[in-house]
Amino acid sequence: MIFPPPPIDTTVATVTTVAKVTTAEVDRALHWPYRRRLTILRRLADAAASGSIKRARELTMLFLHSSDAKLIAARRALPPYAPLQEIQKLARHLDCFAPSQEPIAWRLVPKRSRGFRIVCIPPPRLKAVHYLIKDVLAAQFEPPEHIYDWKRRGRDRYTIDVLVEGT
């Protein structure tokens, strides 16, 4: 007995494809936003160094509302292999001035000697906002020479200063 073939479905199936994007491709896509973000931070640092409070305030607000700065902060807040769409989605929802109701996770990490240290794990949105604020503060603050716990001033800089100055 021969059976007729099954009827052909004439409806068009929608296929959602998610392209696998490597971190190099994401970095290439974020190259120009990163450069524009650095330009604002340099202008902010120059304004703060010159003592122009009004200009520094304007550049701070420009930076905190900048889509480029938000995009880079979202990239830093998410895992290294996060897709570009997820980074863009988080960047669109960033607002430094809105209160956050998201729960913050906590965990205990054992210390070397004894006891535990409480470590906070903020959600990605809050972490990205922290990165934005950190960048603004770092651009406006020039630490004194004797403080080595600052970016580009680690133990190597301290060692060179001790060897050269003999202090």
pLDDT tens, per residue, the chain with 167 residues: 455 555 554 454 444 444 555 778 888 888 899 999 999 999 999 999 999 999 999 999 999 999 999 999 999 999 988 999 999 999 999 999 999 889 999 999 999 888 999 999 999 999 999 999 999 998 898 776 666 666 666 666 677 777 777 65
- For residue 10, tell me if it sits in a domain: no
Name the burial class of residue 105, with classes exposed (0-12), middle (13-18) and buried (19+) by CB atoms within 10 angstroms of its CB. exposed
In sequence order, what E strands does the chain have? 105-110, 116-121
Number of domains in the chain: 1
- For residue 5, tell me if it sits in a domain: no
Containing structural domain, residue 65: 23-165
- For residue 4, tell me if it sits in a domain: no
- For residue 144, tell me if it sits in a domain: yes
Which residues, 6+ apart, have CB-to-CB distance to 76 below 8 Å? Answer: 127, 128, 131
- For residue 78, tell me if it sits in a domain: yes
- For residue 134, tell me if it sits in a domain: yes
For residues 81 and 21, give the distance between their C-alpha atoms in angstroms, rounded to a whole number: 8
CB 59 within 8 A of CB 45: no
- For residue 97, tell me if it sits in a domain: yes
- For residue 9, tell me if it sits in a domain: no
